[in-house]
Chains A and B, each alone.
Chain A
Amino acid sequence: MQGNGIYFDGAAPVPRQANLAVDGAALSITDAAGAIIARWDLGDIDLVDHRPATLTLARRGGEARVKVTDPELAAGLIVALRAGLRRRAWGGAIRWVGAGASLVAALGLFLVFAWPSAADLLAQFLPESWLDRLGQVTASAVAGQRPHCTDPRAFALLDGLAGRIAEASGRPKPEITVVRQPVANAFAMPANRIVFFSGLIAEAQHPNEIAGVLAHEIGHLERRHPSRQLVRQGGLFLLVEMFTGGSSLGAFGASAVSTGYSRAFEREADDFARATLAQAGLDARPVAGFFGRMAAKEKAREKDSILPFGLGGSLDYLSTHPNSAQRAAAFAEAPPGRAALTAAEFAALKGICGTQ
């Protein structure tokens, strides 16, 4: 096998006419006078470029290049080199890609299966002062710049109700904040805090609906859901940021508690709420009505939205607590009991944000 080609010596970008010949297991390159320029072992040759008519070759690791311009020689050489080239081109890649992909897969498995329990364990060892500060930070982030509702009589009623429910479950009374925000929702925060949006009090048609939400949020506190969620998401966030090179320090403050808990967490909080209301002798059945109304309202809102892409959707109770029909049914089957507040007290509670 032999033919014409061009040789670049790697020392200057100057083409030299060359005669190429395959003899034995080597490619020998000679100049027009027949003097030998170089001899490359076929096993040492890398393919730089492969076109129908021409083939460019390199000696592995070196900078000299041979351009095979003779089509027949090019075709013959590519057959002779193919097996070795393919093995080298993919052999190294497969090892490295395989190692990298296994590492990522292991990390993924860890995150899905081991991280939640590891984070729960970690959350148990967080000092009380840290939890308290995390509670402050997330509470202030969720409340934003909105004013607080502090009508003394109404606040005392809500605070007292929270105290009664907490006592029935053997827990210390949570610290309650009511934020003027026409969205119906409430959040449990680390270190025994609950933030109420005033919209939830405005939506309520029965005092036990508020008692139910209080008991549910106290249930989250009892199971330490807020701090567990913070550690779980904080760890994930750190990892994602590290791997993507993002840098939104602290951006996740409020998102951890407001993105909603897992279904398991919600079920735990609901079970706790029903048991605690029963313990306190309060009727849990009106809570079912609350869920029903919220579902209907959300549906109507979706239909009426004038904005594209779901803009204007809101973070109210349903968005953080889905599956309301099922949850409503469980509350509807609760045993009868007393009302949490008298009609007069309930009316007073409604004025918690003053007259506006």
Chain B
Amino acid sequence: MSGEKGTKAESLKAYKNRLDDALGNEFLRKAMDNFAVAYRTSRENAFSGMDTAELIQTVADVKADAVIRNQELLAAFKQKAKENGIHVHLAETAEDANRIIAEIAKKTRCKSIVKSKSMTAEETHLNRWLENEGLEVTETDLGEWIVQLRKEGPSHMVMPAIHLSRYQVADLFSSVTGTEQDAEIQRLVKVARKELREKFVTADMGITGANYVIAETGTIGIATNEGNARLVSTLPRVHVALAGIDKLLPTIKEALAVNKVLPKNATGQAITSYVTWITGPSECKTVEGGKREMHLVFLDNGRSKIAKDPVFAQILQCVRCGACANVCPVYRMVGGHQLGYIYIGAIGLITTYFFHGREHAKNLVQNCTNCGACKSICAGGIDLPGLIKDVHAKIQDEEGHPLQSLLLGKVLKNRKLFHTLLRTAKLAQGPMTEKTKEGPFLRHLPMIFSPEHNFRRLPAIAEKPFRDRFEGLNKKVHAPAYRIALFSGCVQDFVYPEQLEAAMRGFQEANVAVTFPMGQSCCGLPAVSMGEKSAARDVALQNLDAFELKDVDYIVTLCASCASHLKHGAPKLLKNYAPDRAAAFADKVLSYSQFMSGVVGLDKKTGAGKAIAFHSPCHLCRGLDEREAPKDVIAKSGNTYVPTAEEETCCGFGGSFSANFPAVSNEILTQKLDDVEKSGAELLVTECPGCVMQLRGGAMKQGRDIEVAHLAEILYPQ
């Protein structure tokens, strides 16, 4: 795509430098911020009064079915297209597609080409190829034209030039027209109108993409706002449409179902200004016979192989709405050029591996906090974060695992070794520990961290882990109301045992009998997030063995990430190993707030009466779809909940993400802390020790007066 990225693999260091540049780009940051906030509202409005989940499920079903029936639909389309007079070509690879289109141009003696926007053409680097063949290619979508003139690629699948300011566009247009252009948007649009009109009129060939390819009638559907695709498919004498085979749908009915969701999800519009349905060559008065020549080039480029993959087939359910970028906290910080190769956002992190190769994917795929925002909004119902982790694991399996990740995997698999290491680390850190009112912190970062990791303070390992305290805390309960097994997770066990102690006080008060299986290990999520799938599976199995299910009503954890992983992640990992046991285990898992609010039921306490902001952990609000329970807990704790802007946006922790991309993590964190300060809250509460670590450490480092606590600590203070 863009020259700077070249075709060679980029080193992680070079990639991080690009991220730093983007983080320092004030215009980009502001543009992305405004967009992230505005998008949420317009999407909500567009779907208002509708059952969004049901509409999306329909799209997912329609697409999933079309993926299964792909070859059948392709054959049907070919047959119909022949009757309609469309020349159909099948391109095995991106190069094949480019070659086919160049040949059509040669055969039909086309010299100048106008194009409407097509991500598929970006995927094949079509323009570069055609220009190399001496053809003149002009993009006619305003945003695409702008990035074409700048010789770069789109930074968003729907809004290609979102990274640019009006001043940059004015400078560009001044140099293109040879006249000074004002940085006034309405006028700049008029400049494009004029400059491009002549191109439309004189072009020999028009190239479009296709949002829908309909087998039953041999029709293609194209959605645009500008109407450029209509001119591209009307004025020139040859029309070539380029479409991935994944765009095939059985009938117009399915296309309409997708079209009902796509524009709403993309930009919050009920529908695009134009949707054009073309069934074969239409009238063209400048050619003999009165009909233009029409070609459809189907691009495979690995798609039919993906379609057969049990895990990755869902990639093809993507309808290219771009929403997974719109809501991504990383995209928001660094922009599309840094969060995609051609395809952008969550889907880009995945497809880059398949369409453009491992070398372009391996840095990208790590740049994800696993927050799940993309998944919760995806028009195609794709498990995007899950697949991102799968691609990460795949790349590591193919290239060899980096030492650090390998070690982590090895250590996690061996619980005793892991816990011994933690205890040893505790002894080693002794003199470096500084006691503060927010608990013990490390004075300096351990040697393995570089200075860029210094954006938040790291807590020290606790004097005595929870597992060593449990016996002493556990009072016998007679005729218990509930019997639970407590799952601590590593961070609470070894770093924040006081959070679990607070919870223990409450369990006693509520007459809940607690067991703490000593054989329990890490939940496995950190291993997943580092691409160590087999280690994650091993610990999941160990946890199954550690818990005796028949003796307990629920498995309760104070860590939302553990809860979500135990409930949804682990059963997926164990699908072929212990599906029934994993399901039975998952069935009993509840987050702390779910248990206290939904099962135990709390009486209102006389608490501190503080104004409390809540940071909703990604794995709670999206992972477990739990939004109300924590607010109920806050209300019952005798404090007042105050809303903050973007309460459900990631804090930037994301496990290994914050270690791999500390600069990006820090920016996400800073935004979060800004929002909390603006809310006027006296205390920030959350339900995940990872979030506590990130938020508390960041607030301290930045010298902010924000106190951070776990829900259990405000409900049962010391």
Query: Do A and B share a complex?
Result: no
Instruction: List residues of A whose CB falls within 8 A of some B CB.
Output: none
